[in-house]
Structure 1
Amino acid sequence: MNANLREFLDQAYVADEIFELRPDYRALLIAVDGIEPGESNETSEAMLVDAENHANKLLEETAVTELPHIADWREAYKAFGAKPSRTRNSLEALTRRAAKGLPRVNRLTDIYNAISVKHQIPLGGEDIDKYVGALHLVRATGEEDFATFSAGEPEIEHPEVGEVIWRDDESVTCRLWNWRQCARTGLTDQTTTAVFILDALGALSDEELQAAGAELAERVKELGTNVTVEQRLIAHNV
């Protein structure tokens, strides 16, 4: 599967129009195979507690909207017409939740949520086996489908024209860059092959981005006896 992971990452792309919007944008993609699904455990719990404590310490000194990377993402949202106070990027949403406790889902999701908060970076995880074709980041035409749920029932939404979306060859996989993931490709308790997207803007240095990716890779390698990991950095003029 390792060769397939490499092929999956090599086919991913970020459209030029995204770099025109934010030349400082970088996407670190980490693809993983061989995950053995499991419930939350002592390791993931300890990581979540550490992340909660870190977030609470940050918020004692700085308002959540003024934390550097969150502030950067709020500006990025405004640039393509989104309202960051109504549709919060995933990092801001998780950081705000830290005071009352981050969600406990399963050990894979717990790990990436903890790393997102600890390293202050939007970080999404999706099931590669549910993808149709390549992963790419573009601005929406407004005609794309987005599979979600409303009041517990399946529903199809459509992004706004010009909205930044992750998508594959079938439909939208994540709206507003890193706001809400679709129902189709989300991680489940049965996921064994996943891709993680670490979104960085200028407030997060290359070194900090690589540190977050390194910790994620290290942790997911502990989730099975034959876990393989591939990664790729996509950046402007790289």
Structure 2
Amino acid sequence: MLSVLPSIDQDVANLAPEFRALSIVVEAAPIANPDIAREALDRACQSVAAGGASWADAHLAAWADLFRKFGAKPQRTPCSAEALRKRVLRDGSLPSIDPVVDLYNAISIEYAVPVGGENIEAYVGSPRLAVADGTELFDTMKEGAPAHEYPDSGEVVWRDDKGVTCRRWNWRQGVRTRLSADAKHMWFILESLPAMPLEALTEAGDKLIEGLQLMMPGAQIESALIGSDVTI
């Protein structure tokens, strides 16, 4: 089993001392039941249409406040969970992308929690939540072509030893570590603030794990709670 030890830099811990997240590592197996993901996504969209989780609005508002603390504008670059929720409320559903992506998007929508999915084999060193100085490389796509850009100085990013893997905490994922169903080793991070009950975060992680096990029987999965005041 591949070991993944994500860390949180002290500057981020100072900014959000009550931030906590579930780190889930998966040694994948062949996908035998891809429909599990589509069904989960449909259920999640229906849940949002029916009103969603009781803590959803408060949790997303807390993320918006946190984004403002490091200079981001959540109206223009919202956290990933809010961006997905807005699309569901506008369109009624989300298009299918990939079984694994669909599954973790379903968890994000249903629980109003940012969820990242990464191909951990593409990482150079371990994932780290850090404050950028503005010189870190971020690979992305612009007008359908590969492109590079840099985070703003002071921006909170996920990164590894090579560069930024996700900008503005959980707003935009990079191309280099992007996850798809053919990845052999996967890493998921479910990120929460106190407005989301801890038991809800645990339930969201359990549901993601259950869906992965149903979709790819034989997958090996480990999870751990991380945070500025949590020991892995």
Confirm or deny a common fold (TM above 0.5): yes
Tell me the SS of whatever aligns to 2:225.
Answer: strand
The offset of 1:39, in angstroms, is: 8.6
Taking the aligned partners of 1:104 and 1:40, their CA distance within structure 2 comes to 11
Cα gap change, 1:228 to 1:123, in 2 (>3 Å): same
Given the alignment, which residue of 39, 60, 73 partners 2:63?
73
Instruction: Give the percent of matched residue pairs that are identical in Structure 1 and Structure 2.
Output: 37
Cα gap change, 1:159 to 1:38, in 2 (>3 Å): farther
Cα gap change, 1:225 to 1:189, in 2 (>3 Å): closer
Given the alignment, which residue of 113, 131, 136 partners 1:144?
136
TM-score normalised by structure 1 residue count:
0.90
Give matches, 1:12-91, under 5 Å.
12-37=6-31, 40-41=34-35, 43-58=36-51, 67-91=57-81
Q: Is the 8 A contact 1:94 1:117 kept in 2?
A: yes
Tell me the SS of whatever aligns to 2:121.
Answer: helix
Taking the aligned partners of 2:33 and 2:141, their CA distance within structure 1 comes to 24
The offset of 1:51, in angstroms, is: 0.8
Give matches, 1:131-170, under 5 Å.
131-170=123-162
The offset of 1:193, in angstroms, is: 1.4
Q: How many residues align?
A: 227
The offset of 1:175, in angstroms, is: 0.3
Taking the aligned partners of 2:23 and 2:185, their CA distance within structure 1 comes to 13
The offset of 1:221, in angstroms, is: 1.4
Taking the aligned partners of 2:142 and 2:154, their CA distance within structure 1 comes to 24
Taking the aligned partners of 2:194 and 2:124, their CA distance within structure 1 comes to 31
Return 108-117 or 221-230, whichever deviates more.
221-230
Tell me the SS of whatever aligns to 1:58.
Answer: coil
